Amino acid sequence: MGFVEMTQNWRLWLQEGSNVSVYGTVLFVMFTTSCILHVLSAIERRKKLPPGPWPWPFIGNLGVVLRKTGARHKFLQALGAKYGGLMYLGLGQIPCLVVSSVAVVESMFKSHDATFSDRPQTYFRKVQYGDSAMRSLSSAGYGSYWRQVRRMCNTELFSPGTHASQEGVRREEIQNMLDVLVHECKRRKPIDLGDWLFGVSTNNMTRMLINKRYYGTGAEIPEKKEEFQGMVKSRTRAAGTFVISDFIPSLTFIAKLQGLPKRFRESHESAKAQMESVLDVEEHRKNAIARASVDIKSEYSPDFVDVLLKAPLDDGQPLADSDIKFLLTDLMIAGTETTGITVEWAMVELMLRPELRKQAQEEIDAVVGADPERFVQESDIQKLPFLVAILKETFRVHPVAPLNVMRSSYEPCEFAGYYLPAQTRLIVNQYAIHRDPSVYENPDKFEPRRFMENPEVNPLSGRDSYQLIPFGVGRRMCPASNLAFTMALLMLANLLHTFDWSFPDGVTADNFDVSEEFLGTVLRKKTPTILMAKPRSHVQ
């Protein structure tokens, strides 16, 4: 290569380098300008939204929320204290509101209850049910089908008349399991209180659903207690799993890499197998036809399956068998664990405060007396205001579901001067609301007297009393709230009336483990509550 040719090549290379440099500069300017415009646009959009932590590009505030998966209710409470009772989070591509004060939850649900009564379709439900995921009461979207099923629950399953007709069932199941507890006491065997409460709640639900007993004396269903308890815990944990593709759909592959589809399907198959062995809808249908063909009046008491088989939808057609199973499975799982957890926490608080336990027993004794055949009955409850206050305070301090099942808006709306697009998710932080310092003095302290001084606070309302909402609020609140409240009071009252309680050897109030664990959707006690029970002098 000659000198002239070499010189020309160097000149061309320098020109190309200069062009590359120009192109790089242009690209850098374009990228920087794009970022600046994105930030300015985000700032402008944020002016129309409630305050909240600044979102990252693409993932929004997902990184903030995912940091505290085990205590998300407390983390959101702390964020709410910083940004206010109405806080905005950008969860990936999904806008989300977090409500954490009494004033905001009251204002929102008095004006926008219907708007935020929809349910988002989640990856958990899609994997397990496919298109049927929106046919259960808890997951159905806000529309005609959900309204019909909800009305059916209100008028057929949990109406005042049905509630009254089931009083004998509740009494029998509590007495039956008290007999089991008395037998255990005679052996001086430590009592796993949570396990006993789970058995009572399960029996009550199966008696109402299918008129059969699941645990204890006279059980009519093959007992698979550990399997059933494991299935309930697995379901609640899976239902509350934070799946990133629920907020960034393009990242579904991450859920697959985590093995979530397999875990969700296994949870579903376990629940399906156990519930189908309990809820035989076709058998109920055949028995109903057989009873109808008999001329003499039957003394058979219809259970919930019988009721649902006769209850038509608006078009006159009955519920499909699959829909009946979805509905009853929802009720079975929700009703067996949550009530027992509440009573367990109440007993834990009373064990730490013997003076409150003694006061509660004295109140019960004054009403019920020392008749060895006398149990605390539902007619006694209105005469036990201190016991009611204890349960209300337990609901406040230990909400079983500290974060409500996520809601979604089905249309855009304006609230508190902010524009909220359709499909905005809504989280009601019951844990924070129950500790609102503007409503509750010493909010972290267990003090039943606060409800003795304010007996009008009604946890069953959901529309008029917003400072205590353990069963949710508005149209989506738990339809079985009255049943759960009654059962919790009866179990707690009879435990206190029938037994004196103490810690096992080596355990005191100072070293008694009261740590909590947030798994999925439920806040439960982390370790079993093991206590010693001694029948009181009036108990045979």
Whether 238 and 261 have beta carbons less than 8 Å apart is answered as: no
Whether 86 and 50 have beta carbons less than 8 Å apart is answered as: yes
What is residue 511's three-state secondary structure?
Answer: coil
CA distance 165 to 159: 10
478 is in an annotated binding site: yes
| 432 φ/ψ angles, rounded to the nearest 5 degrees | -70, -40
Segment 237-240 long-range contacts (CB within 8 Å, at least 24 positions apart):
237/519, 237/520, 238/124, 238/263, 238/264, 238/267, 238/520, 239/124, 239/520, 239/521, 240/519, 240/520, 240/521, 240/522
CA distance 434 to 470: 9
CA distance 98 to 49: 12
Whether 458 and 470 have beta carbons less than 8 Å apart is answered as: no
Task: Give me Rg for the CA atoms of the chain.
Answer: 28
Handedness of CA 468, 472, 477, 479 (dihedral sign): negative
Helices (H), 84-223: 102-111, 123-129, 144-152, 160-165, 167-186, 193-210
Cβ neighbors of 157 (< 8 A, separation 6 or more) are 304, 307, 308, 331, 479, 480
- Residues in the annotated binding site for heme: 478
> Which residues line the annotated binding site?
478
